Amino acid sequence: MKYVLSVASIALLGITPSCSDLSHKSSDNSSYPVKFSVGNVDPRFGVSPEKLRVLTDKAVSVWEEPVGLHLFEPDDPAPLKINLVFDDRQQKKFDEKHLRSKLDAGGKSYDVLMQEYDSEVLLEKKLESDYASEQSSLQQKLDAHNARVAYWNARGGAPSVEFSSLSIAEREIDNLRESLERHRQYLNKTNDNVKSLSDAINNLVTDYNLQVSNYNGRFVGSREFEKGAFNGREINIYEFDDDADLELTLIHELGHALGFDHVDDPQSIMYYKLEKQDRKNIHLSAQDLNLVKRKFSELTKRF
Ligand SMILES: [Zn+2]
């Protein structure tokens, strides 16, 4: 018996924008170096104040190193506080990560089951074809044997040489029958395996598709919000993926603290979305560098 696998189509995941519009308010009358300290760090982010300080120091050096200027200075208390503010934005990020990892695991189980299913279906096909040819060969032997028996019966019985040859042929036929039966059982077992694998896959796919639709409904689509903000007195960070994303957000907001506005190059730190910057090698773009050079050439008579 054949079982038809009905794998439901897996919905395509849309892209969740990792970027956000960063609202800000530049300060043009700061004195330099800008004094900063770590302020309130909500523990729900899983980032300690010490770690935030380390990432802020790295962010500071991204601005300072290329120009060799002392632009920021840690101080406590300092006029500029850096806070991690937890609300539904980061909560949603956590929920998304959790569901995404469940989806990835579901996708992996699906791949493993499909591989198993494919190889079991191949085996099933081979067994079916072997069984059919074995069955037809048995039938041919049986027909020939029956014809010989009928031939000799019509003549009142077989001579003893012929009789023993017929008995040997009969045993061979019995052996073939037994072998065919074993193959039938093996084929049935394989049919059952294919059936249970297809059931398991269908269940998994149904469950997966539900989760995908849940994921798509909750996380995919337009999602622009403030990831971080500089309001002149403090830098508040509301949402980030990982350390690199947090560092990138810090560099961006520190840029506002230096008095910089947004630029139009999507790979720049000071672009309004944090999306296309190189997170593995965070650095100032030519446009970012120009911002520093323009602002500080007056102050330092350099560049
Ligand atoms: Zn901004």
What does the alpha-carbon distance between residue 229 and residue 210 come to, in Å, rounded to a whole number?
Answer: 36
- What spacing in Å lies between the alpha carbon of 128 and ligand 1's midpoint? 67
What does the alpha-carbon distance between residue 254 and residue 78 come to, in Å, rounded to a whole number?
Answer: 14
Quick one: angle between helices 49-64 and 243-257, nearest 10?
Answer: 60
DSSP state of 9: P
- What spacing in Å lies between the alpha carbon of 198 and ligand 1's midpoint? 51
The position carrying tokens 């998304």 is 96
- What spacing in Å lies between the alpha carbon of 22 and ligand 1's midpoint? 4
Q: Are 26 and 225 in contact (CB under 8 A)?
A: no
- What spacing in Å lies between the alpha carbon of 20 and ligand 1's midpoint? 9
- What spacing in Å lies between the alpha carbon of 69 and ligand 1's midpoint? 22
What pLDDT does 28 receive?
A: 52
Bridge partners for 84 per DSSP? 41, 237
Q: Which residues surround ligand 1, an ion (CB under 5 A)?
A: 22, 24
Structure tokens at 232: 């002149």
pTM metric for this prediction: 0.70
Strand ranges for the chain from DSSP E:
34-41, 72-74, 80-84, 228-230, 234-237
What pLDDT does 130 receive?
A: 96
Q: What is the CA radius of gyration of the chain?
A: 37
Q: Are 265 and 285 in contact (CB under 8 A)?
A: yes
Classify residue 210 by burial, with Cβ atoms within 10 Å: 0-12, 13-18, 19+: exposed
- What spacing in Å lies between the alpha carbon of 95 and ligand 1's midpoint? 25
Reading the chain (303 residues) residue by residue, the pLDDT tens digits are 334 344 444 444 443 434 344 455 555 556 889 999 999 999 999 999 999 999 999 999 999 999 999 999 999 888 899 999 999 999 988 998 998 898 888 888 988 999 999 999 999 999 999 999 999 999 999 999 999 999 999 999 889 999 999 999 999 999 999 999 999 999 999 999 999 999 998 888 888 888 888 888 887 765 566 889 998 899 999 999 999 999 999 999 999 999 999 999 999 999 988 888 998 999 999 999 999 999 988 777 666
State CA 29 to chain mean position distance: 46
Structure tokens at 199: 């059931």
Structure tokens at 143: 């027909």
- What spacing in Å lies between the alpha carbon of 234 and ligand 1's midpoint? 13
Instruction: Give the up-direction half-sphere exposure of residue 167: CA atoms within 13 A in the CB hemisphere.
Output: 7
Q: Would you tell me how many other CB atoms lie within 10 Å of the CB of residue 285?
A: 18
The position carrying tokens 């009142």 is 156
- What spacing in Å lies between the alpha carbon of 64 and ligand 1's midpoint? 19
